[in-house]
Chains A and B, each alone.
Chain A
Amino acid sequence: MEKEIEKIIEEYRQYAEEKGIGLNDNHEMLEGLAKRLIENEKKYGARYCPCRVVKGKPEIDQKNICPCSYSEEEIEKSGHCLCWLFVKK
């Protein structure tokens, strides 16, 4: 699991760099989020946001695949996404 966590964090770090944003610098929370994303992928087949309820309705749930459809607006507005995975630099 540890290697999977490191891999997914690296993947999102690259995404964040491309977008000009950052990842949460609280490593404990970051690892917790990564772990839950991995669990969601195994359980539901996609990396659904660890802070949103999976409804079982594809048209709704698809928007919640991390990075979710709302993250950019949330980061712009609040300085972080709902889950605090991504933060404004």
Chain B
Amino acid sequence: MTILNDQNFKKFIEEAEKPVLVDFFAEWCPPCSFLGNIIEKISKEKEMQDKLIFTKLNIDESPETARQFKVEQIPTVMLFRNKEAVADFLGFMPEEAVKEWIESGLKK
């Protein structure tokens, strides 16, 4: 998974050739670890890799981006397409629900 931060976020989103999933997380948030493991697992699936790019951003290390997208509850996951955020969800979700959310978000 690609690590995004305040320095590379804007350029990465603008230049991405596929939709980008961003997992906003913090080290101190227990559900972030559980969700992070699920997203990491999904990101290794070839079918998913063909459809989108998986990234994560630590909100403590990149507060400007977190503020820009008003991330105050974590985990927050956002899907960007054509430079725009097209879908998001808050909190932990099981693997199947995350996959369904991705499929639904890709259709938006």
Interface residues of A (CB under 8 A from B): 26, 29, 32-33, 35-36, 39, 50-53, 55, 78, 80, 82-84
Contacts and interface: CB of A to CB of B under 8 A. Distances in A.
A83 B91 contact: yes
Contact of B31 (A29, A39, A53, A55): A29
B29 A50 contact: yes
A35 B74 CA distance: 17
B6 to A, nearest CB: 16
For the complex of A and B, the 3 pairs showing the least CB-CB separation, nearest first, are A32-B30, A53-B72, A82-B91
Given A29-B34, A82-B90, A84-B91, A36 B72 contact: no
A77 B48 CA distance: 30
Given A82-B90, A83-B91, A84-B92, A52 B72 contact: yes
Contacts of A82: 73, 90-91
A39 B29 CA distance: 11
Given A32-B30, A50-B29, A83-B91, 18 more contacts: A29-B34, A33-B31, A35-B30, A36-B29, A36-B30, A39-B28, A50-B31, A51-B31, A51-B91, A52-B74, A53-B72, A53-B74, A78-B91, A82-B90, A83-B30, A83-B31, A83-B92, A84-B31
Contacts, number: 48
A29 B72 contact: no
Main secondary structure of the interface of B (DSSP, over half): loop
Contacts of B26: 53
B71 to A, nearest CB: 8
A32 B71 CA distance: 21
Interface in B50-107: 59, 66, 71-75, 90-92
A10 B26 CA distance: 26
Interface string B25-56: 01011111110000000000000000000000
